[in-house]
Amino acid sequence: MFHKEGSKIIAIALGLFTIGLLTANRFLEKGWLFYLIAATLIVLLILILQFFRNPSRIAPNDAGVIVSPVDGKVVVIEEVFEKEYFKDKRLQVSVFMSPLNVHVTRYPGAGEVTFSKYHPGKYLVAWHPKASEENERTTVVVKTEKFGEVMHRQIAGALAKRIVNYAEEGDAVAQGGESGFIKFGSRVDIYLPVGTKIAVALNQKVKGASSIIATV
């Protein structure tokens, strides 16, 4: 299954793939150059399809846990001062997505959306220290039953040129439900209350909606 955000890009890619293959077939003999072009087109098409796949995920539906909002690798676990909304110290857990990861963003916990804001910005590499403050990003806060307000922030990277955010203030959302999509990668930060028990380690690979990030 592919995500709706990729429908236009996938259609364009399929069209270009077909035109490229037909053109190569018409003007080139079935030699090494033809097969090289065909192989390159196939690889590029597969990569684009990889970007927009949307596998079915079943969240634990447990108010006592926070799940990963995306697929990727945990690259940050630290206490920070969150400037935009909380304006106090929070535990930050960041998950970096490679171009081959699923790019659907999901709600870490169930509750009510209390804040949702889009910020235009730069496209620094996702691991840059200032990426969370200067890159294109969206900030979403959900008031959960047991963790209070939990923030997740989609951050664009050097490749990502568009962030899609579905969250609207006042929405009642389910754990693991779709919160948005980052086209062509980057990272998502989760901000939790200080003292929350973190259930992952640095460099651990996680899956959106199913891997448990934190517990009460």
89 in the same domain as 35: no
Residues 79 and 137 in one domain: yes
74 plus 40 within the same structural domain? no
Q: Rounded to whole angstroms, how far apart are CA atoms 81 and 140?
A: 17
- What is the separation, in whole angstroms, between the first and last Cα of the chain? 34
Count of structural domains, the chain: 2
47, 147: one domain: no
Catalytic residue (choose from 116, 132, 179, 186):
186
Closest CA to 71 of 214, 196, 210: 210
The answer to whether residues 93 and 38 belong to one domain is no
Q: Do 99 and 121 fall within a single domain?
A: yes
Enter the pTM of the model.
0.84
Q: How confident is the model over 174-201, as pLDDT tens digits?
A: 999 999 998 766 889 999 999 999 999 9
CATH, residue 157: 2.70.70.10
Model confidence at 127, in pLDDT bands (50, 70, 90)?
low
What's residue 147's pLDDT? 97
Q: Judge if 146 and 43 occupy the same domain.
A: no
Q: Do 82 and 152 have their domain in common?
A: yes
Task: State the pLDDT at residue 107.
Answer: 97
- Give strand ranges (E) for the chain: 65-67, 72-82, 88-97, 104-106, 111-119, 137-144, 148-155, 162-165, 172-173, 178-183, 186-193, 197-198, 205-206, 212-215
Judge whether 59 lies within some domain: no
Q: What range does the domain containing 40 cover?
A: 4-51
Residue 56 in any domain: the answer is no
Gap between the Cα atoms of 27 and 21, Å rounded: 10
pLDDT at 123: 65
Sheet holding 172-173, edge to edge: 172-173, 111-119, 137-144, 148-155, 186-193, 88-97, 72-82, 205-206
**8 & 71 share domain:** no
> 207, 53 in Cβ contact below 8 A?
no
Q: What is the pLDDT of residues 47-60, one digit of tens each?
A: 888 778 888 888 99
- CB-based contact 93:213 (threshold 8 Å): yes
- 186 a catalytic residue: yes
